[in-house]
Amino acid sequence: MKSHIQDLVSQALQQLASDGTIPADAIPTPMIERARDRQHGDFASNIAMVLAKVARCRPRDLAEKLVAAMPESSLVAKSEIAGPGFINFFLSDDTYHALIPEIMQQGHAYGRSNHGENKKVQVEFVSANPTGPLHVGHGRGAAYGATVADLLEAIGFEVHREYYVNDAGRQMDILATSVWLRYLSLCDEAFAFPINGYKGDYIWEIAASIKQEHGETYKHSAEAVFADITADEPDGGDKELHIDALIARAKSLLEENRYRYIFELALNNILDDIRDDLAGFGVTYQRWYSERSLTDSGAVNRAIERLRSSNYLYKKEGALWFRSTDFGDEKDRVVVRENGQGTYFASDIAYHMEKMERGFDRVIDVWGADHHGYIPRVKAALEALGDDPSKLDVLLVQFANLYRDGKKVQMSTRSGSFVTLRELRQEVGRDAARFFYVMRKCEQHLDFDLDLAKSESNDNPVYYAQYAHARVCSVLRQAGDKSIDITPTPGIENLDRLTESHEQLLLISLSRYPEIVEAAALNEEPHQLCHYVRELASEFHTYYNASHFLVEDAALRDGRIKLILAVRQVLKNGLNLLGVSAPESM
């Protein structure tokens, strides 16, 4: 609809350009927007005010000429000039009536489009370190990234969802060592667990599985493990040096193969858990991309070589630095440490280089807001590599605060309050969690009200919207019970009976759905869809209370049934795009 109006205005502009009323060299694409006020019709354009200056005439006069030059259209009943020079378009009733059979025919495809022209977009999200179960903070990135990906897919992009697995580096060694130490405890060795080790229950579980399967194969005495190890923090030492020494000891005592075994077991265990957790959240990926594979495949070396050959690297204090300040970063960054190991940043350069090599038209990274300082250096690296940094979009997601009984739930690994995504899902359910997480703009701090998410009342937007869907289903069931024939007639038959204001408003809302999906996708703003779904549900509930659907008058009943079938379809499409189910009864 919108694009049709846009065409009409464009044609009128061409017409005025050819007779010299406006300069032909600067014809913009006219901006068409939904009228806010019903009295202003359905769509409005400000084009006359925009062009008044170059056309050297008053906005309203220009608007007059545009309306006169506008081609006839069966969709438009009339167009008016109003206010300082707006052109308001009033659509014909037929236009809205035709919408109903269109929605029914397209079904789940209504609202989808090919706007993206199958361009390839990669969305990388969550990518939490596989050192433990997903945190409630990761949940927002998961819900947000998944919804943005689904939205982009809905408007015709070819979407590739990816999870970057940080399976290399010190944190993973700490994990493997933590598991091994817990295993030793299970073998009745007594010692103080390092303050910097991973202390969660899941570490015990993994350790126990090793014990169960392999007995004491991996056992070494506590004396051997802790001999000459630098003291931990509680003993007046340094916790970092302490854990590093323990890692080194684990590697030497276990030797390569056995250390590897525990390392891999811990990694795969946790990764399986994360995968399972996300799947239960309706979040799936095309690929889990291993950081280690970047080293193994030589991508990291290749990236460093490319930077070196373009003279963006230099040695200082034993380390290899990337001159990111050449591209606006605050300071230069180390890519290879003094000890010869590549930094996390080096892997990330390789990863993003590789993303570009894979030919994505656009790359979206969803990060926690605390990583924002990281953006300039990654963009700098892409630029230094000769790639186009504007292809990379980094979306920062602010943290979510949980509230229970009106009080903020303190979240630290220590506190007893729940912290995992799995626990959140168990408490409030998948639907509420998915919806609440994307209800706000991503850069907005999110107050997640657990009590509200669980409440079965109209205060809860998820239930409210789902209930509207269930209500339509319920009405149809009632009709069946009463043996009322509700098989809808084809086409636009009887839709002219929908003359009430609530019905008009619903038709308008239904017609807006594709525009909402497109805007939500292009702006990476799922919350727009949340608001829309809530509004549509609200309009339906109002209608429900104001009018009976299963009326005696068969033609009127048919019109209304067709309308609420369409409402049901759009509610379902919208909810599903948000990863929320559309139940048939509640």
Partner RNA sequence: GCCCCCGUAGCUCAGUUGGAUAGAGCAAUCGCCUCCUAAGCGAUAGGUCGGACGUUCGAAUCGUCUCGGGGGCACCA
Within residues 388-407, the interface with RNA by CB under 7 A covers: 396, 398
Strand pairing category for 362-368 and 392-397: parallel
Contacts (CB under 7 A) with RNA, residues 428-447: 440-441, 443-447
By beta-carbon proximity to RNA, the closer residue of 384 and 529 is 529
Name which of 219 and 560 has its Cβ closer to RNA.
Answer: 560
Q: Which is nearer to RNA, 127 or 219 (CB)?
A: 127
Nearer Cβ to RNA (208/522) = 522
Binding of RNA at residue 327 (CB under 7 A)?
A: no
What residues between 221 and 280 interact with RNA by CB under 7 A? none
What's the token pair of residue 39? 């009295």
Which of 10, 113, 504, 538 is the binder for RNA (CB under 7 A)? 538
Which of 28, 109, 523, 553 binds RNA (CB under 7 A)? It is 523
Stretch of 47-55, 112-120, 265-273, 378-386 lying at the interface with RNA (CB under 7 A): 47-55
Task: Using the rule CB under 7 A, give the single segment among 93-101, 202-210, 292-300, 465-473 that binds RNA.
Answer: 465-473
Alpha-carbon distance of 455 to 467, in angstroms, equals 13
Q: Is-contact 45 12, C-beta < 8 A?
A: no
Q: Is 37 in the site for RNA (CB under 7 A)?
A: yes
Q: Is 412 in the site for RNA (CB under 7 A)?
A: no
> How is residue 150 written in tokens?
């689904």
Q: Interaction with RNA in 169-188: which residues (CB under 7 A)?
A: 169-171
Contact pick of 309, 457, 483, 487 for RNA (by CB under 7 A): 457
Q: How far apart are the first and last CA of the chain?
A: 35
Cβ–Cβ contacts within 10 Å for residue 562, how many?
26
Q: How far is the CB of 382 from RNA (least distance, A)?
A: 17
CB 62 within 8 Å of CB 17: no
Residue 15: what residue type? Answer: Q
Only one of the segments 61-69, 225-233, 305-313, 457-465 lies at the binding site for RNA (rule: CB under 7 A); that segment is 457-465
What are the residues facing 82 on neighbouring strands? 86
Q: Does 363 bind RNA (CB under 7 A)?
A: no
Q: What's the CA gap between 325 and 317, in Å, rounded?
A: 18
At 49, list the tokens. 């005010």
Least distance between RNA and beta carbon 367 (Å)? 9
| Region of 65-73, 246-254, 369-377, 427-435 interacting with RNA (CB under 7 A) | 369-377
Contact call for residues 551 and 561 (beta carbons, < 8 A): no
Count of C-beta atoms within a 10 Å radius of residue 40: 17
Least Cβ distance, residue 207 to RNA (angstroms)? 22
**In the complex with RNA, which residue's Cβ is closer, 226 or 544?**
544
Residue 108: count other Cβ atoms within 10 Å of its Cβ: 11
State the nearest-atom distance from the C-beta of 223 to RNA, in Å: 30
Structure token digits, residue 430: 């998948």
Binding mask 117-136 for RNA (x = CB under 7 A): ------------x-------
Q: Which stretch binds RNA (CB under 7 A): 14-22, 206-214, 340-348, 421-429?
A: 340-348
The contact pattern for RNA, residues 545-584, with x = CB under 7 A and - = no contact, is xxxxxx----------------------------------
- Among positions 59-88, residues that touch RNA (CB under 7 A) are 59, 82-84, 86, 88
The neighbour count for residue 504, using CB atoms within 10 Å, is 14
CA 99/CA 563 separation, integer angstroms:
10
The reply on whether position 44 binds RNA by CB under 7 A is yes
Site for RNA in 185-214 (CB under 7 A): none
Nearest to RNA of 265, 468 (CB atom)? 468
Instruction: State the Cα–Cα distance between residues 92 and 102, nearest whole angstrom.
Output: 16
Least distance from RNA to the Cβ atom of residue 212, Å: 29
Task: Verify binding: residue 362, RNA, rule CB under 7 A.
Answer: no
Distance CA 355, CA 363 (A): 8
> Tokens 């689904």 sit at which residue?
150
Q: Print the SS3 string covering 73-99.
A: CCCEEEEEEECCCEEEEEECHHHHHHH
- Out of 276, 357, 456, 496, the residue judged to bind RNA by CB under 7 A: 456
The first and second tokens of residue 347, run together, are 């892997």
Name which of 434, 418, 352, 421 is nearest 387 in CA terms.
352
Structure tokens at 4: 């049709």
* Residue 103 binds RNA (CB under 7 A): no
Helix H or strand E segment including 175 = helix 170-186
Nearest to 577 by CA among 523, 516, 535: 516
Could you give the CA distance from residue 517 to residue 529 in angstroms, rounded to a whole number? 7
DSSP category for residue 136: H
Q: Does 157 bind RNA (CB under 7 A)?
A: no
315 binds RNA (CB under 7 A): no
Work out whether 296 is an interface residue with RNA (CB under 7 A): no
Closest approach, Cβ 208 to RNA, in A, equals: 26
Q: Is 38 left (phi over 0), alpha (psi -120 to 50) or beta?
A: alpha
CA distance 410 to 302: 44
Q: Report the residue number, 54 or 208, with the smaller CB distance to RNA.
A: 54
Contacting residue, 390, 410, 478, 501, with RNA by CB under 7 A:
478
- Residue 95 in contact with RNA, rule: CB under 7 A: no
Among 17, 27, 35, 241, binds RNA (CB under 7 A): 35
CB 485, min distance to RNA, A: 14
- Hey, CA dihedral for 373, 377, 382, 388, is it positive or negative? positive
Q: Which two tokens stand for residue 432?
A: 């509420």
Nearer to RNA, 492 or 537 (CB): 537
Identity of the residue, 5 or 168, whose beta carbon is nearer to RNA in the bound complex: 168
Indicate the residue among 333 and 425 with the shorter CB distance to RNA. 333
The correct pick among 21, 122, 166, 290 for binding RNA (CB under 7 A) is: 166
| 113 lies in the site for RNA, by CB under 7 A | no
Burial of 326-356, coded b for 16+ CB within 10 Å and e otherwise, reads: ebebeebbbbbeeeeebbebbbbbbbbbbbb
Q: Which of 11, 275, 464, 505 binds RNA (CB under 7 A)?
A: 464
